[in-house]
Amino acid sequence: MVTVSAPGKVHLIGEHAVVYNEPAILAAVGLRCHVKAEKGKDPSKVRIVVRDGYESEHRVEELRELADKVDRLWSEGKEKGDFSEPFAFLKEDWKRASQAFAGKIMKTLGITEGFELEMWTTIPLGSGLGSSSALAVSMTQAISDLFRKDLSKEKVNDIAFTLEQYMHGTPSGADNAATAFGGMTWFQKGEGGPTIRSLAKEVPHSLENFVLVYAGKPEKSTGELVQMVAQLPEEKRNPLMRSIGEMVPSMLEAMKEKDYPTIKDVMNKTWDNLHALGLSTPNIDKIVSAVRALGGAAKGCGAVGGGVVLCYHEDKELLLKTLKELGFDPWEADLAVEGVRVDG
């Protein structure tokens, strides 16, 4: 038996722009997805238990066939430049994603024997905190460890990326990297594979006075929001993406120097760009206005369209109080936590 967990993540800067080859900085965040894997009584079956969710049992072939089907729908979507079909198929029954993940991991690692999985998470789903990446990474680690595949973190990350493709069409790969490696990560897509750089040495200190607040459930999934941005006219989208990318080195410098005025300025400018792409909601606007009025900074995170807002203010207590008075339930962000790990 093995139990593993992987953290969620938050973009300090660079969501969406990272899909267009711009760099991004992400921090693993202190909420985790847990997966316990063990050999079952019947080796021809896979049993999946989602705590407080559902329980299901499948023949091994059934899950491998499910993964074959999603692989086919995904490839067709890639060809068409439209992933509506695989997204609709996975949305039709929310349980399918974890089942397809299990099938894909078995296919990739050549596993033909069944097992039992129990999963639970503290990461709010579809919140911009990388709940699907944390699931992808922790399931990959748990199943591969159970069958003693002895994968490197890089390999776990590569497999998790293929699972993220099921969910998001053409994800950047930044979320699963942040979740797998943990800490703080510089990420940029590239022709020969992404650059994934740990910032542990450059930013050894903890970042304080950051607060997260949940602004509501997004109506669209990450994949749908990424697709919506892809369908915007290039002349509108590209300059906004480029301008986010250009701010990433300043963000890193400011983080190294603990230069909070610049961190705030960059966060607010980044948010202006994401907002201009049409990625906001009335609740996010309300939070951002209130935090800015205090002299702080705030930005929607991940795919946006709802989910969490990352806020900063030198006076954390004032920030928390203000957000509570607005009717939200903020919490202090624990940034740069450990990546995927074996807990037992």
Given 15, 71, 116, 224, the residue binding ligand PMV (CB under 6 A): 15
The four Cα atoms 127, 133, 134, 136 give a dihedral, to 10 degrees, of 140
Smallest separation (angstroms) from ligand PMV to the CB of 82: 17
Given 99, 108, 188, 222, the residue binding ligand PMV (CB under 6 A): 222
> Does 277 sit near ligand PMV (CB under 6 A)?
no
* Residue located via tokens 């624990």: 334
Given 226, 254, 277, 298, the residue binding ligand PMV (CB under 6 A): 226
Number of residues that this document lists for the chain: 344
Site for ligand PMV in 111-150 (CB under 6 A): 128-130
Strands (E) located in the chain = 2-13, 24-38, 45-50, 54-59, 115-121, 184-188, 195-198, 210-214, 297-300, 308-312, 331-332, 341-342
> Does 188 sit near ligand PMV (CB under 6 A)?
no
Given 77, 86, 296, 302, the residue binding ligand PMV (CB under 6 A): 302
Short-list 303, 306, 344, 304, CA closest to 168: 303
* Cβ 303 vs Cβ 226: under 8 Å: yes
Given 86, 114, 171, 194, the residue binding ligand PMV (CB under 6 A): 171
SS (H, E, C) 144-188: HHHCCCCCCHHHHHHHHHHHHHHHHCCCCCHHHHHHHHECEEEEE
Q: Which is nearer to ligand PMV, 15 or 71 (CB)?
A: 15
Cα separation, 147 vs 92, whole angstroms: 31
Smallest separation (angstroms) from ligand PMV to the CB of 170: 8
Cα separation, 343 vs 182, whole angstroms: 15
Given 4, 7, 12, 16, the residue binding ligand PMV (CB under 6 A): 16
Smallest separation (angstroms) from ligand PMV to the CB of 57: 29
Q: Which is nearer to ligand PMV, 37 or 174 (CB)?
A: 174
Q: Which residue in the shown chain puts its C-beta closest to ligand PMV? A: 302
Backbone angles phi, psi at 298, to 5 degrees: -155, 145
> Does 19 sit near ligand PMV (CB under 6 A)?
yes
Give me 18's structure tokens. Answer: 């990272």
SS3 state at 270? helix
Smallest separation (angstroms) from ligand PMV to the CB of 23: 12
Q: Which is nearer to ligand PMV, 109 or 230 (CB)?
A: 230
Residues at the site binding ligand PMV, with contacts judged by CB under 6 A: 15-16, 18-19, 128-130, 168, 171-172, 174-175, 222, 226, 302-303
